[in-house]
Amino acid sequence: MVDLITNTLKPKVGFICVHNSCRSQIAEALGKHLAADVFESYSAGTQTKPHINPDAVRLMKQRYQIDMEQTQHSKLLDEIPRLDVVITMGCNVNCPWLPSKHREDWGLDDPSGQSDAVFMQTIDQIESKILTLRQAILDQTISII
């Protein structure tokens, strides 16, 4: 997507996790919600699940009025474009290597099967990290050129 003000391409940020069903989906949704003016958000995994985690869907609807089931689905790595920034969620496994200009791991525990309070903590962490990433790209403290 081209930014009409600066006539430049927005960097593509990919949120990568094994199953692409919870944390990476939340990050994609929050990236689109909070940082679409700065970067394009994608998520994918090495495996897929038939559905996005229902607790994540419910809590994102409740908190942000975002219906991830309407706008997203679990995707494999080859279903997303080449990325400028790769963010791994902290799957405690070897995440696949993807070419990118910047890579970081957010080290987030999977809240699946946990209480709403644990889910909300994870969502809060992702929101904070999205906003930090947005600012780092704006400030050019992350090299994506």
**pLDDT tens digits for range 8-45:** 689 999 999 988 999 999 999 999 999 999 999 999 99
Q: Could you give the CA distance from residue 81 to residue 95 in angstroms, rounded to a whole number?
A: 17
Find out whether 59 and 116 touch, Cβ atoms under 8 Å: yes
Q: Could you give the CA distance from residue 72 to residue 62 in angstroms, rounded to a whole number?
A: 17
Tokens, residue 57: 């869907």
Q: What is the pLDDT of residue 92?
A: 64
Q: Could you give the CA distance from residue 20 to residue 18 in angstroms, rounded to a whole number?
A: 6
Spell out the alpha helix ranges (H) of 36-98: 54-64, 68-71
The candidate with the shortest Cα–Cα distance to 101, out of 44, 131, 46, 140, is 140
In this model, does residue 7 exceed pLDDT 50? Answer: no
- Architecture category of domain 2-139 in CATH: 3-Layer(aba) Sandwich (3.40)
Task: Name the pTM for this structure.
Answer: 0.92
- pLDDT-derived band at 107 (thresholds 50, 70, 90) equals very high
Contacts of 24 (CB under 8 A, 6+ apart): 15, 16, 17, 43, 44, 45, 89
Domain boundaries, the chain: 2-139
Chain mean position to CA 15: 4
